[in-house]
Structure 1
Amino acid sequence: MKGGGGGGVAPAKRRWRGLAIGVLFLVFLSMLVPLGFLLGLHNGFHSTGIVPLQHTSPSGDPSSRVDNLVKKFGPTLSKDILKGFVNEAKNETSSTNSTPKSQQRKGIPVPPQVVMKPLIDKSISRVSGKAGMRAGNDVNDGSCELKYGSYCIWCEENREEMKDSTVKKLKDQLFVARAYFPSIAKLPAQNRLSRELRQNIQELERVLSESTTDADLPPEIQKKSSRMEAAIVKAKSVPLDCNNVDKKLRQIFDLTEDEANFHMKQSAFLYQLAVQTMPKSLHCLSMRLTVEYFKDSFDEELSEKYSDPSLQHYVIFSKNVIASSVVINSTVVHARDSVNQVFHVLTDSENYYAMKLWFLKNTFKGAVVQVLNIEHLNPDFYDKATLSHLTLPLEFRVSFPSSDSAPAIHNRTEYLSIFSHSHYLLPEIFKNLEKVVVLDDDVVVQQDLSGLWNLDMGGKVTGAVQICSVRLGQLQSYLRQSSFRKDSCSWMSGLNVVDLVKWRELGVSETYWKLVKEEQQVSMKERSALMASLLTFQDLIYALDGSWLLSDLGHDYELNTESIERAAALHYNGNMKPWLDLGIPKYKGYWKKFLNLEGQFLSECNVNP
């Protein structure tokens, strides 16, 4: 029994001894495998821990799989950037493991405990604007394309310099602080932080109420911004209910959107008010001239030239003293024989005496100027209601699709300037004249216009620059008529040669008023004038060469300088007239050089367009 018991114990010990040896062998193998990886024994990895980005045979090589993975996550990453990325990474040693995780590049597979420095690529490191706001600090490194695709390339190609960046930063800080403040203020333990936030919010509100650009900011603004940034960091570290912060943030968003809409509507209204009303300085000038006219007695010399058909007669409809003065001055300066020029300025009762005094006190190289009050005229015309007030040339902005399939966002917009009701009184006002040249008061003459008097218009009523980019067929929704040729070009006022003899023969004025009366029953008054003018002069327009008049200086910023200098006359049609602060600055010089700023009333009324 004893021997049998001893024989039973020995096999058990041998079994346990075998299991122990097996465990030790497995432990040894488990140590060899990572050691092999660390020593670079595996063919798929190198000692630097970087996967080689090179093409290999499709045999399941790990480097090929990693390369495909990189392509999957970064479809827009160029090969040059990838090569630069790998070359820089290969220069790193294992000591880079100590680099913080915040510097790791997102979106690219990295072996464990291998950290790469951000790749700064000049082609995308200067991205700003919307991409900068979306991507934050990461936009300035090479990961931008991995995160945002070709949007980064688009932003770089269309990059604009950020203006007033400090003001925008302050507004963003104020925005965030207002979102956190209500939640912080409810915590009794954060009274100090609450007071700090309130104080910083009040300081930034006061600064931004007085400053709209970086140049307006006080010198100590950087300190204020730093204090606000520190307060925001503290607020973010406080445990808060995210729902409350989110609710306040959305509330601020809604209020900001409402405020933006209000300011947008207000700015649109003020813009229209500014372009449709006379500036304060010009109104002051007109009133001062009117008072001066009645203070002193001025004898107006009636000239026989006013009705001499052998002279060159120019007609200007205007309520603006200095605008009509610029037209006349620029015309006589470039005239070969200004003595034969006669200017007829038609205005209203409000500006009549100011106009008379201005042109009595100023001379224009021998040319004579006649000022007429259109409201005091009594021509033999059947519609006396048109004489109740002066109407200036009408300007229309028309939009229509550039093609039949183009969406509405791609509509093409053109500006048209046409005759007003007052223009159709010309044959009755100047009964003794045979031909006149009509100039708008927003025109500047740059060359001699005497060639217009030698034109053979072939029986046409008026000579005008045609706008064939806008044909009557494209304005069918405005014309509401089918009895017109759709391929007929529209025309532009500004500089027009008018054959008054032919006008009377064809009864152009009667045709116009008939169309106006018919159209006013179904549409607005201004729209009826557009329709009636275009249809009245259909087939009666003599096309002047485009070099006689260059239009669009009152709305188009992209006009060619060479075209401006070659044109015989410049037309500032559009809302941005040269005498307004809203005028396009680079075009104002062509107008201002013919404005005589010497005079007592000009300085007293601060007239300096």
Structure 2
Amino acid sequence: METIHVVAATNDDYALHLAVMLNSLLENKFSENPIQIYILDGGNLSVDSKAKLEKSLQRFDVKPQFILVDASLYSGCLINRYYSMEMYFRLSIPDLLDHGIQKALYLDCDLIIEEDITILWNNNIDDYVVGAVFDPNELRREQLSIPKEYGYFNSGVLLININKWTENDILEKVKQFISDHPSALKYPDQDALNVILHDKWLRLEDKWNVRANRLNKTDIILAIIHFTGKTKPWNGKPPGKSAYLKYLDNTQW
């Protein structure tokens, strides 16, 4: 039975929210597929946070693997109060996982998973570099000169084809684009990924990445709630906050 490889990146500021996300994921996983969780750490994740993350997952008999990332690889990338260094670590996933792993699922920390992640994992991306959910941001697509037929995607949920990512040298291409076009980027890694992968991504069902601010405007059966934007369930009252609080109770924070 195929192992599901889930990857996230965090620091001390987001460790709690990662624990909430992973609890929601594991609480709603009903398949018998083994799961391995990898947590990317650029040196800003304390021993205490790591211990709390491990204890938060113990009841599922899942032990996360912490992987230290060389943060200097992203020294030239835009980093500020909204864009942390850890945001870029997803770009290195194929280089960080063991050889032989062919697919990985990257997840942002500010998500709540409400459906069995195995269903998402089982999408066939053999002919694509990534699977992602369409983002109806026509302005960004136009500003980045992406042809309309390809659209624009949100990078908070990425099903990654490891081999194709490596073959296409995506890490270096994205870093180069970020370096060459700093003034053109609003969402640095996401914009760059959309340009580089504009004709190499599979559109996943919308339910796998639904922005919280759209919860009251859609009739989509939710699979993943994504708390995009500045208003989060830990600093405000966005739609979907009750789901976050439900899983928060099961963490070590």
- Cα gap change, 1:473/1:498 in structure 2, threshold over 3 Å: closer, same or farther? closer
Tell me if the contact between 1:465 and 1:544 (Cα under 8 Å) persists in the aligned partners: yes
- Cα gap change, 1:390/1:445 in structure 2, threshold over 3 Å: closer, same or farther? farther
SS at match of 1:517: helix
Give the drift of 1:524. 7.0
Paired residue for 2:108, among 440, 452, 471? 440
Tell me if the contact between 1:464 and 1:497 (Cα under 8 Å) persists in the aligned partners: yes
1:535 maps to a residue whose letter is V
Paired residue for 1:365, among 57, 60, 63? 60
SS at match of 2:135: strand
Corresponding position: 1:537 with 2:197: yes
Q: What does residue 10 of structure 2 align with?
A: 318
- Cα gap change, 1:557/1:568 in structure 2, threshold over 3 Å: closer, same or farther? closer
Partners of 1:596 and 1:314 lie apart in 2 by 22
Tell me if the contact between 1:461 and 1:503 (Cα under 8 Å) persists in the aligned partners: yes
Deviation digits for residues 52-92 of structure 1 (CA, Å, limit 9, x no counterpart): xxxxxxxxxxxxxxxxxxxxxxxxxxxxxxxxxxxxxxxxx
Identity of aligned residues (%): 19
Tell me if the contact between 1:471 and 1:490 (Cα under 8 Å) persists in the aligned partners: no
Partners of 1:368 and 1:598 lie apart in 2 by 14
Q: What does residue 176 of structure 2 align with?
A: 514
Give the drift of 1:364. 3.9
1:446 maps to a residue whose letter is E
- Cα gap change, 1:391/1:583 in structure 2, threshold over 3 Å: closer, same or farther? farther
SS at match of 1:426: helix
Q: What does residue 579 of structure 1 align with?
A: 234
Corresponding position: 1:502 with 2:164: yes
Paired residue for 1:352, among 42, 46, 58? 46
Considering only aligned residues, what root-mean-square deviation do their CA atoms show, in Å?
Answer: 3.2
Corresponding position: 1:463 with 2:141: no
Corresponding position: 1:485 with 2:147: yes
SS at match of 2:231: coil
Partners of 1:457 and 1:529 lie apart in 2 by 21
Q: What does residue 593 of structure 1 align with?
A: 246
- Cα gap change, 1:597/1:311 in structure 2, threshold over 3 Å: closer, same or farther? closer
Give the drift of 1:420. 4.1
Tell me if the contact between 1:519 and 1:528 (Cα under 8 Å) persists in the aligned partners: no
1:428 maps to a residue whose letter is D
Tell me if the contact between 1:348 and 1:390 (Cα under 8 Å) persists in the aligned partners: no
Partners of 2:76 and 2:179 lie apart in 1 by 17
Partners of 1:464 and 1:471 lie apart in 2 by 19
SS at match of 1:350: coil
Corresponding position: 1:559 with 2:226: no
SS at match of 1:574: coil
Partners of 1:557 and 1:455 lie apart in 2 by 24
- Cα gap change, 1:471/1:456 in structure 2, threshold over 3 Å: closer, same or farther? farther
Deviation digits for residues 292-314 of structure 1 (CA, Å, limit 9, x no counterpart): xxxxxxxxxxxxxxxxx941111
Per the normalisation by structure 1, the TM-score is 0.37
Corresponding position: 1:474 with 2:149: no
Give the drift of 1:351. 2.2
- Cα gap change, 1:346/1:446 in structure 2, threshold over 3 Å: closer, same or farther? same
1:370 maps to a residue whose letter is Q
Corresponding position: 1:568 with 2:223: yes
Tell me if the contact between 2:106 and 2:156 (Cα under 8 Å) persists in the aligned partners: yes
Superposed counterparts of 1:245-324, under 5 Å? 310-319=2-11, 320-324=14-18
SS at match of 2:45: helix
Superposed counterparts of 1:162-201, under 5 Å? none
Partners of 2:17 and 2:38 lie apart in 1 by 14
Partners of 2:199 and 2:73 lie apart in 1 by 29
Partners of 1:488 and 1:388 lie apart in 2 by 28
2:27 maps to a residue whose letter is V
- Cα gap change, 1:579/1:436 in structure 2, threshold over 3 Å: closer, same or farther? same
Corresponding position: 1:547 with 2:215: no
Partners of 1:368 and 1:323 lie apart in 2 by 17
Give the drift of 1:422. 2.0
- Cα gap change, 1:577/1:468 in structure 2, threshold over 3 Å: closer, same or farther? closer
Deviation digits for residues 154-206 of structure 1 (CA, Å, limit 9, x no counterpart): xxxxxxxxxxxxxxxxxxxxxxxxxxxxxxxxxxxxxxxxxxxxxxxxxxxxx
1:317 maps to a residue whose letter is A
SS at match of 2:67: strand
Give the drift of 1:322. 1.6
Tell me if the contact between 2:77 and 2:175 (Cα under 8 Å) persists in the aligned partners: no
Q: What does residue 427 of structure 1 align with?
A: 94
- Cα gap change, 1:464/1:471 in structure 2, threshold over 3 Å: closer, same or farther? farther
1:544 maps to a residue whose letter is L
- Unpaired runs of 5+ residues, structure 2, are none
Tell me if the contact between 1:338 and 1:365 (Cα under 8 Å) persists in the aligned partners: no
Tell me if the contact between 1:340 and 1:367 (Cα under 8 Å) persists in the aligned partners: no
Per the normalisation by structure 2, the TM-score is 0.83
More strand by share: 2
Q: Which structure is higher in RCO with an 8 Å CA cutoff and minimum separation 6?
A: 2
Greater radius of gyration (CA): 1
2:74 maps to a residue whose letter is T
Partners of 1:544 and 1:310 lie apart in 2 by 20
More helix by share: 1
Give the drift of 1:340. 0.8
Deviation digits for residues 400-425 of structure 1 (CA, Å, limit 9, x no counterpart): xxxxxxxxxxxxxxxxxxx9432211
Partners of 1:559 and 1:446 lie apart in 2 by 16
1:315 maps to a residue whose letter is V
- Cα gap change, 1:324/1:334 in structure 2, threshold over 3 Å: closer, same or farther? same
Give the drift of 1:374. 2.3
